[in-house]
C-alpha cells in the first residue's frame, strides 16, 4: 500500500500514445518501471475499473482491464479481484455479464467481487483522518486486506463535477448506504460531493496505481447518455473523442490533473475536486510541478465539449417541465439532468402521448418549487421538494387507480440522490396511466422483469434523509417531517 506523502511535490505521470490499445497500456505502465514495481510475488491485488453501466462507452475498456490483469499475473500476483458497483441500483453481477466480462475473469484467473449484490455485510468501518464530510466510512474487507489497489478510470465529463476521473471513481467502491451520504452539495450542512471523494483518498481507497483509460473521451452532459444518438432528435448526439492515450501514475490527483488538462481544463482553477485534494495535501494538482514522461501533454490537448453546469431544464417543454425551487448544485440537479437525458433519448414518444391526452409530466425539485397545473403527472424528487410541497393542491385529491382524467397522479421520490428507487410508487404511476397510453404496457412488463431477474438491487438500509444531518432543514420543516416520518 502506497503511503500518502504530501511532501512528494513532483510526482511522475506516464503518458503513452499509440495505435494498439493493449500495447499502449503496457508502455504507460512500463515507463513507470513496470508492474513489478507495484505488484510483488504472492500479492493480493484489488482492481477497481469503471463499470458504471452496461453501456460500453462509459466503462473501462476490456482491453485495458485485460492488460492490467495480465501484467499483474506476470508480476506474480496470487489473487486478483475485479470489483465495482454500477450506478443507480443496477446489479453488479448482471452488469458484468452484459459487458461480457464473466468469461474474461475465468480465462485470466481473476475473480469478481459483486459489491452491490452481496449487501454490506462484508464492509467494515474505518477512520477517515482529517475528514471534512466523513469521520468514518465503510470499505469492503477484501479491499482492506489487499496488498495493492489499482484504479482504472475512464476520461469523462460530468454534469456536476466537470470531470469524472480517478478521484470520483471511488463512488463505486462504497456500499449503497454510504453512496447516498453527501451526494448533495450543502457545505453549510457539512456535506459536499467534492469533499466526499477527497476524504476517501485519506483511507485504503487511495489507489497505489492509477491507469487512466483515455482511449476514448466521453464529453457533453456525461457520463451516462452523451454518446447515444436519440432517434427522436439527432442534434443531441455528442460523439466520443478518440485520443488513443493511456496515462499512469501513483498520485491520483496528478493523473487527474494531467487528464483534465488534456481535455482543455485548468485543473486547479476549474476542477473543484482537484483543487480541494491539492489544497489538502492529498496530491499534486499543479501541472507545472508534475514530471510527465512519454508524450507531451500539449501535443494532445483539445477542447472537450463540457457539461453545462447551469442547465436550464427547458429543452423538453411542453412534454416534460421541471419546476425548480431552491436546489443544490449536486444530487437533485444531477438526477434531473439524468431524467431529461433519459427521456429525451428513450422516452420522448411516451411524453408526447401523455401530453396529447392532457397529462404532461412535471418534475418538482428543490425547496418550494412552483405549483404544477391541474391534471399533471407529478414526480416529486428529493426530500426538499417532498417536505415543502405537502400543502400543494396536487396532493388534495386521492390517487385513483386505473385511467384517470383530471385527477392528478404523483410519486414522492425520497432522499438525496442516488435514490433508492421507489418501484411501488413508479408502478402506481404507470398503472394510473394504463389504458390511456398503450405504450405503458411495455414499461409495466419491464418493471416486472426487473423484479423477477433482480436487475436492480435494493439496499440493505434505508436512505438517509436530509433532516438527519441538516439541523436547519429539520427545524424549517419540523411539522411536515413529523407527519412524513409517521408515513415512512
DSSP state string for 90-124: B-HHHHHHHTT-HHHHHHHT-EEEETTTTTTTTEE
pLDDT confidence band for 399 (50 / 70 / 90): very low
pLDDT confidence band for 449 (50 / 70 / 90): low
Domain architecture of the chain: domains with CATH:
12-299 (3.40.50.11440), 320-487 (no CATH)
E strand or H helix at 25, and its extent? helix 21-30
Contacts of 266 (CB under 8 A, 6+ apart): none
**Residue 36: predicted pLDDT:** 98
Q: Match 502506497 to its residue by C-alpha cell.
A: 2
Residue 336 near residue 369, CB atoms below 8 Å: no
Identify the burial level of 175 via C-beta atoms within 10 angstroms of its C-beta, where 0-12 means exposed, 13-18 middle and 19 or more buried. buried
Dihedral (Cα; 195, 200, 202, 206), 10-degree rounding:
-130
H helical segments located in 31-79: 62-75
pLDDT(468) > 90: no
**Residue 160: predicted pLDDT:** 80
pLDDT(172) > 70: yes
pLDDT confidence band for 300 (50 / 70 / 90): very high
**Residue 56: predicted pLDDT:** 65
Q: Which of residues 132 and 154 earns the better pLDDT score?
A: 154
> ∠ CA(471), CA(192), CA(120), 5° rounding?
90
Percentage of the chain modeled with pLDDT above 90: 43
**Residue 350: predicted pLDDT:** 74
pLDDT tens-place string over residues 198-227: 999 999 999 999 999 999 999 887 766 544
Calculate mean pLDDT across residues 377-383. Answer: 85
Max Cα–Cα distance, the chain, nearest Å: 70
Identify the burial level of 249 via C-beta atoms within 10 angstroms of its C-beta, where 0-12 means exposed, 13-18 middle and 19 or more buried. buried
Could you give the CA distance from residue 81 to residue 48 in angstroms, rounded to a whole number?
8
The residues pairing with 224 across neighbouring beta strands, listed in sequence order, are none
Phi/psi for 260 (5° steps) reads: -65, -30
Could you give the CA distance from residue 205 to residue 85 in angstroms, rounded to a whole number?
14
C-alpha gyration radius of the chain? 23
Amino acid at each position: 500500500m502506497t503511503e500518502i506523502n504530501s511532501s512528494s511535490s513532483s510526482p511522475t505521470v506516464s503518458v503513452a500514445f499509440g495505435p494498439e490499445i493493449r500495447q499502449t497500456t503496457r508502455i504507460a505502465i512500463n515507463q513507470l518501471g513496470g508492474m513489478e514495481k507495484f505488484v510483488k510475488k504472492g500479492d493480493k491485488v484489488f482492481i477497481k475499473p469503471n463499470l458504471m453501466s452496461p453501456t460500453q462507452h462509459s466503462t473501462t475498456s476490456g482491453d485495458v482491464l485485460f492488460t492490467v490483469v495480465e501484467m499483474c499475473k506476470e508480476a506474480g500476483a496470487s489473487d486478483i479481484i475485479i470489483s465495482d458497483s454500477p450506478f443507480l441500483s443496477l446489479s453488479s453481477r448482471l452488469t458484468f455479464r452484459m459487458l461480457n466480462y464473466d468469461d474474461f475473469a475465468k480465462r485470466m484467473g481473476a475473480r469478481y467481487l459483486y459489491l452491490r449484490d452481496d449487501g454490506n455485510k462484508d464492509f467494515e468501518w474505518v477512520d477517515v483522518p482529517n475528514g471534512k464530510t466523513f469521520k468514518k466510512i465503510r470499505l469492503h474487507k477484501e479491499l482492506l486486506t489487499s496488498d495493492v489497489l489499482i484504479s482504472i478510470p475512464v476520461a469523462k465529463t460530468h454534469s456536476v463535477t466537470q470531470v469524472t476521473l480517478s478521484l470520483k471513481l471511488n463512488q463505486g467502491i462504497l456500499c449503497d448506504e454510504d453512496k447516498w451520504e453527501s451526494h448533495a452539495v450543502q457545505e453549510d450542512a457539512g456535506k459536499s460531493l467534492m469533499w466526499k471523494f477527497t476524504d476517501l483518498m485519506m483511507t485504503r481507497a487511495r489507489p497505489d496505481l492509477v491507469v487512466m483509460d483515455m482511449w476514448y473521451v466521453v464529453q457533453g452532459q456525461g457520463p451516462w447518455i452523451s454518446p447515444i444518438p436519440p432517434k427522436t432528435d439527432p442534434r443531441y448526439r455528442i460523439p466520443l473523442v478518440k485520443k488513443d492515450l493511456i496515462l499512469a501514475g501513483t498520485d491520483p490527483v496528478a493523473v487527474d490533473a494531467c487528464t483534465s488538462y488534456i481535455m482543455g481544463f485548468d485543473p486547479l482553477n476549474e476542477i473543484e475536486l482537484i483543487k480541494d485534494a491539492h489544497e489538502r495535501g492529498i496530491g499534486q494538482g499543479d501541472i507545472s510541478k508534475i514530471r510527465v514522461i512519454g508524450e507531451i501533454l500539449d501535443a494532445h490537448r483539445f477542447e472537450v465539449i463540457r457539461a453545462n453546469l447551469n442547465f436550464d431544464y427547458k429543452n423538453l417543454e411542453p412534454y416534460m417541465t421541471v419546476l425548480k425551487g431552491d436546489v443544490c448544485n449536486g444530487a437533485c440537479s444531477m438526477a434531473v439532468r439524468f431524467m431529461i437525458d433519459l427521456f429525451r433519448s428513450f422516452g420522448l414518444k411516451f411524453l408526447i402521448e401523455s401530453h396529447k391526452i392532457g397529462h404532461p409530466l412535471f418534475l418538482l425539485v428543490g425547496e418550494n418549487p412552483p405549483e404544477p397545473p391541474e391534471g399533471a403527472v407529478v414526480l416529486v424528487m428529493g426530500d426538499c421538494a417532498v417536505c415543502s410541497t405537502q400543502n400543494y393542491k396536487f396532493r388534495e385529491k386521492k390517487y385513483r387507480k386505473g385511467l384517470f382524467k383530471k385527477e392528478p397522479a404523483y410519486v414522492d421520490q425520497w432522499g438525496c440522490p442516488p435514490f433508492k428507487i421507489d418501484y411501488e410508487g413508479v408502478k402506481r404511476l404507470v398503472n394510473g396511466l394504463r389504458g390511456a397510453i398503450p405504450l405503458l404496457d411495455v414499461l409495466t412488463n419491464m418493471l416486472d422483469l426487473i423484479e423477477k431477474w433482480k436487475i436492480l438491487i435494493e439496499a440493505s438500509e434505508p436512505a438517509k434523509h436530509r433532516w438527519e444531518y441538516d439541523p436547519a432543514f429539520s427545524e424549517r420543516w419540523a411539522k411536515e417531517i413529523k407527519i412524513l416520518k409517521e408515513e415512512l
